[in-house]
C-alpha cells in the first residue's frame, strides 16, 4: 500500500501491534512477527522511518487499558508521534464505539494520521475505504461478542466438571496440571490452625494478631515470597481470616462462579447470588473435614452483625500518623469525672499490632485536634488574603512561552529550507537526514519545555482561584463543615508527642 505524503520528513511514524487468544486471533496470520513484517514492508515502500513500536501481546481488543496502547496515546499527547499504522482495524480495537471514537475523533483532533494497511483505510486522504470504517468496526465488534460467548461456554463447562479455572490457587493449595488443586503443605498447616482456633472460639482479630506476631506471611505475602520477590507481608487482618473460614474449598468442594462481568466490554464484575454458585463436591483433597467446616460456619454466623453506629467526624480520613504514615482512626471513648465523653484517635498500625511495635499509639483527643486544625485553617486564610497573585511572574512565563514558540518556528523554517535544498540537489540526502534529525531533536526538547511551562502556568492559576473561593467560603460561613475542610486541607499529621501539622492544598 503506497500513500500520498506532502512532508515526508515531518512524519513521525508509529507501529502498533496486538494479539489476543481471547479474541480468537489466528496465531499464524495474526502473530506479532507477521504483523511486524507487514508494517516494516509498508514503512520501507513509503520511505518512512519508524519512530516507535508499541506492542500488546495477550491483550483483548475490547480493553483499551492495554499498556502498549496507553504508552502510545501518552506519546500522542506529547506529540512524539503523528502517524499510526496497524496491520488491520481489529488490531487497534474490537469495540466499535471506542475504536470509532479514536479513528474518527481523537486521532483527527490530535493531528494523527491513521492507516490500516490491509483494510486500505487512510485518514490522511479522502478514499472509499474510509467510508467502510463504521461497517468494519461493527463486524469486529460482532466477532468479539461471538468469541466472548464461546469462551464463556467453555469456562462454564470446565467449572461444572469441577475443574479449577482461576489464575491463582486459593491459599493452602497449588495448581497442578492447569485445572487441578493439590495441597501446599506449609500454607495448609496455617489454614488448619485458623480453623482450629476459630472452632475453639478465638476471635478473628485474635487469630490475625497471633499469626502476625509469629511472623507468618499472609496469603498475598506468601504468594509474593514464592514468586521469588524475597519480601513478604506478615500482617494478617480480620478480613483475611474471615475469608478463609468462609471458603468451602478447604472442605474438598470446588465453588466457582461467584461473580461475573457485566458484559464482554466492561471490566466491572457483579456478585452472583449464593444459590447460583457452581458447586462440585469432593473434587480435591480437603484440608479440613466437612464436619469441622460446618462447625466453623456456626462460629462465623455468630460473629456476623451490622454496625449500628457509624462514626462520622469533620476530620475523618484526613488524619495520618506522622511517623509510620498510616491513617489514624477513632478507637476509644472515655468518660471524665463529670461523665462527659471524649473521643480519641490512634494510629491504626499500633492499634492492630501493638505487640509488633510497628508504631506508637499517637493517642490524641478528637475535640482538641479538631480545634487545633480549625485554628490553623483560620491562620492560613488570614495569610492567604494578604497574598497578591503574582502577575509579574505570569508575565515572565508568558515571555518564555513566546520565546520558545519563536524558536520552534525558526527550526521549522530551517527544516523546510534544507528540504528544498535536498530536492534541488544542493545538499545530499545523507546530509539532509543528519541535519533534519538534529533539528527534530532540538524541536522536541523545546516543545517539551513549552508544554511544561504551559501546564505550570495554568495549574498555578487554577490552584490560586480554587483556593481563593475555598477561603472565601470558609470566612463567610458561621459554622465549619467537612466540605470546607476538604477543599483546603490535603492531610493532617499527628506526631508521637501530639504535635499537629496541617498540610494545605495550596502551596
pLDDT band at 73 (very low <50, low <70, confident <90, very high): very high
Helix (H, G, I), strand (E, B) or coil at 142: helix
- Return the bridge partners of 280, or none: 254
- For 158, the enclosing helix (H) or strand (E) is helix 133-160
Q: Quick one: pLDDT at residue 322? A: 93
Non-local CB neighbours of 126 within 8 Å, separated by 6+ positions: none
Alpha carbon distance 309, 251 (integer Å): 36
Alpha carbon distance 255, 166 (integer Å): 11
Mean pLDDT across 423-433: 83
pLDDT band at 27 (very low <50, low <70, confident <90, very high): low
Question: Which cell numbers in the block locate residue 442?
Answer: 532540538
The residue whose grid cell reads 473460614 is 245
Alpha carbon distance 234, 190 (integer Å): 13
Q: Quick one: pLDDT at residue 265? A: 65
Q: Is the dihedral of CA 129, 134, 136, 137 positive or negative?
A: positive
SS (H, E, C) 416-440: HHHHHHHHHCCCCHHHHHHHHHHHH
For residues 502 and 489, is the Cβ–Cβ distance under 8 A?
A: yes
Alpha carbon distance 71, 237 (integer Å): 37
pLDDT, tens digit (0-9, with 9 covering 90-100), for 109-150? 999 999 999 989 999 888 878 877 888 878 877 777 777 788
Count of Cβ atoms closer than 10 Å to residue 164 Cβ? 20
CA distances, 361 to each of 204, 332, 488 (Å): 22, 12, 27
Exposure class string for 266-286: b at 16+ Cβ within 10 A, else e: eeeeeeeeeeeebbeeebbeb
Does domain 8-146 fall into CATH 3.40.50.1820? no
Mean pLDDT across 95-103: 88
Examine the pLDDT at 43 and tell me if it is beyond 50: yes
Q: Taking the model in full, what pTM does it have?
A: 0.51
pLDDT, tens digit (0-9, with 9 covering 90-100), for 6-24? 566 778 999 999 998 665 5
Q: Quick one: pLDDT at residue 95? A: 84
Report the chain's mean pLDDT, rounded to a whole number.
85
Which DSSP string corresponds to 377-413? HHHHHHHHHT----HHHHHHHHHHHHHHHHHHHHHHH
Alpha carbon distance 233, 227 (integer Å): 13
Examine the pLDDT at 74 and tell me if it is beyond 90: yes
pLDDT, tens digit (0-9, with 9 covering 90-100), for 145-198? 777 788 788 888 889 999 999 888 999 999 988 889 999 999 999 999 999 999
Alpha carbon distance 81, 447 (integer Å): 13
Give the 3-state secondary structure percentages of the chain, helix then strand then coil, rounded to 5.
50, 15, 35
Question: Which cell numbers in the block locate residue 284?
Answer: 480435591
Alpha carbon distance 43, 47 (integer Å): 6
For residues 1 and 38, is the Cβ–Cβ distance under 8 A?
A: no
Alpha-carbon 418 to chain mean position? 45
Mean pLDDT across 240-258: 93
pLDDT band at 477 (very low <50, low <70, confident <90, very high): confident
Q: Quick one: pLDDT at residue 459? A: 64
Nearest to 193 by CA among 76, 287, 298: 287
Examine the pLDDT at 3 and tell me if it is beyond 70: no
Range from 174-178, 180-184, 388-392, 430-434 carrying the lowest mean pLDDT? 388-392
Examine the pLDDT at 438 and tell me if it is beyond 50: yes
- The vertex-171 CA angle with 169 and 172, nearest 5°, equals 100
DSSP state of 106: I
Domain ranges of the chain: 8-146, 173-303, 310-507
Nearest to 321 by CA among 349, 280, 300, 301: 349
Nearest to 393 by CA among 382, 385, 401, 405: 401
Non-local CB neighbours of 349 within 8 Å, separated by 6+ positions: 321, 324, 326, 358, 359
Alpha carbon distance 115, 43 (integer Å): 11
The residue whose grid cell reads 482495524 is 89
Pick the CATH number of 173-303 from 3.40.50.620, 3.90.1750.20, 1.10.110.30, 3.90.1010.10: 3.90.1750.20
CA R_g for the chain: 31
Examine the pLDDT at 208 and tell me if it is beyond 70: yes
Q: Quick one: pLDDT at residue 306? A: 47
Q: Quick one: pLDDT at residue 336? A: 63
Alpha carbon distance 238, 236 (integer Å): 7
Examine the pLDDT at 385 and tell me if it is beyond 90: no
pLDDT, tens digit (0-9, with 9 covering 90-100), for 261-316? 776 666 678 888 888 899 999 999 999 999 999 999 988 888 775 444 556 788 98
Exposure class string for 171-203: b at 16+ Cβ within 10 A, else e: bbbeeeeeeebebbeebbebbeebbebbbeebe
The share of the chain scoring above pLDDT 70, in percent, equals 88
Non-local CB neighbours of 203 within 8 Å, separated by 6+ positions: 303
pLDDT band at 333 (very low <50, low <70, confident <90, very high): low
Nearest to 444 by CA among 96, 78, 124: 78
Q: Quick one: pLDDT at residue 122? A: 92
Amino acid at each position: 500500500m503506497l500513500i500520498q505524503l506532502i512532508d515526508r520528513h515531518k512524519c513521525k511514524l508509529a507501529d502498533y501491534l496486538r494479539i489476543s487468544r481471547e479474541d480468537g486471533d489466528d496465531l499464524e496470520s495474526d502473530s506479532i512477527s507477521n504483523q511486524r513484517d507487514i508494517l516494516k514492508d509498508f514503512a520501507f515502500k513509503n520511505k518512512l522511518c519508524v519512530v516507535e513500536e508499541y506492542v500488546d501481546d495477550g491483550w483483548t481488543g475490547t480493553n483499551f487499558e492495554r499498556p502498549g496502547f496507553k504508552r502510545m496515546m501518552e506519546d500522542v499527547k506529547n506529540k512524539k508521534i503523528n502517524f499510526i499504522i496497524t496491520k488491520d482495524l481489529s488490531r487497534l480495537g474490537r469495540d466499535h464505539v471506542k475504536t470509532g471514537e479514536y479513528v474518527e475523533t481523537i486521532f483527527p483532533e490530535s493531528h494523527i494520521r491513521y492507516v490500516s494497511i490491509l483494510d486500505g483505510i487512510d485518514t490522511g486522504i479522502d478514499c472509499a475505504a474510509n467510508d467502510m470504517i463504521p461497517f468494519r468496526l461493527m463486524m469486529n465488534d460482532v466477532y468479539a461478542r461471538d468469541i466472548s460467548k464461546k469462551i464463556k461456554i467453555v469456562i462454564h463447562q470446565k467449572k461444572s466438571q469441577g475443574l479449577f479455572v482461576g489464575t491463582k490457587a486459593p491459599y493452602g493449595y497449588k495448581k497442578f496440571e492447569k485445572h487441578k488443586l493439590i495441597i501446599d503443605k506449609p500454607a495448609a498447616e496455617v489454614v488448619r490452625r485458623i480453623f482450629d482456633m476459630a472452632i475453639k472460639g478465638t476471635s478473628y482479630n485474635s487469630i490475625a494478631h497471633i499469626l502476625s506476631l509469629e511472623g507468618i506471611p499472609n496469603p498475598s505475602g506468601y504468594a509474593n515470597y514464592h514468586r521469588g520477590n524475597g519480601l513478604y507481608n506478615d500482617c494478617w487482618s480480620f478480613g483475611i481470616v474471615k475469608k478463609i473460614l468462609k471458603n468451602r474449598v478447604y472442605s474438598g468442594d470446588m465453588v466457582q462462579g461467584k461473580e461475573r462481568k457485566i458484559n464482554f466490554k466492561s471490566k466491572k464484575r457483579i456478585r452472583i447470588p449464593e444459590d447460583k454458585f457452581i458447586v462440585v463436591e469432593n473434587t480435591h483433597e480437603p484440608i479440613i473435614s466437612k464436619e469441622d467446616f460446618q462447625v466453623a460456619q456456626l462460629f462465623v454466623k455468630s460473629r456476623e452483625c451490622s454496625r449500628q453506629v457509624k462514626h462520622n467526624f469533620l476530620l475523618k480520613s484526613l488524619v495520618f500518623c506522622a511517623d509510620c504514615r498510616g491513617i489514624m482512626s477513632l478507637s476509644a471513648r472515655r468518660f471524665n469525672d463529670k461523665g462527659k465523653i471524649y473521643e480519641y484517635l490512634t494510629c491504626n498500625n499500633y492499634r492492630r499490632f501493638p505487640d509488633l511495635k510497628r508504631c506508637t499509639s499517637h493517642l490524641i483527643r478528637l475535640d482538641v485536634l479538631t480545634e487545633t486544625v480549625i485554628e490553623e485553617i483560620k491562620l492560613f486564610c488570614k495569610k492567604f488574603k494578604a497574598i497578591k497573585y503574582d502577575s509579574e511572574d505570569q508575565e515572565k512565563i508568558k515571555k518564555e512561552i513566546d520565546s520558545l514558540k519563536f524558536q520552534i518556528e525558526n527550526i521549522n523554517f530551517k527544516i523546510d529550507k534544507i528540504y528544498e535544498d535536498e530536492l534541488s540537489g544542493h545538499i545530499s540526502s545523507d546530509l539532509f537526514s543528519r541535519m533534519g534529525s538534529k533539528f527534530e531533536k532540538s524541536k522536541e526538547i523545546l516543545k517539551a519545555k513549552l508544554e511544561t511551562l504551559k501546564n505550570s502556568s495554568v495549574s498555578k492559576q487554577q490552584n490560586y482561584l480554587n483556593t481563593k473561593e475555598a477561603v472565601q467560603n470558609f470566612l463567610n460561613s458561621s459554622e465549619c463543615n467537612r466540605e470546607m475542610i476538604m477543599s483546603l486541607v490535603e492531610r493532617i499529621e499527628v506526631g508521637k508527642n501530639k504535635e499537629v501539622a496541617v498540610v494545605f492544598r495550596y502551596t
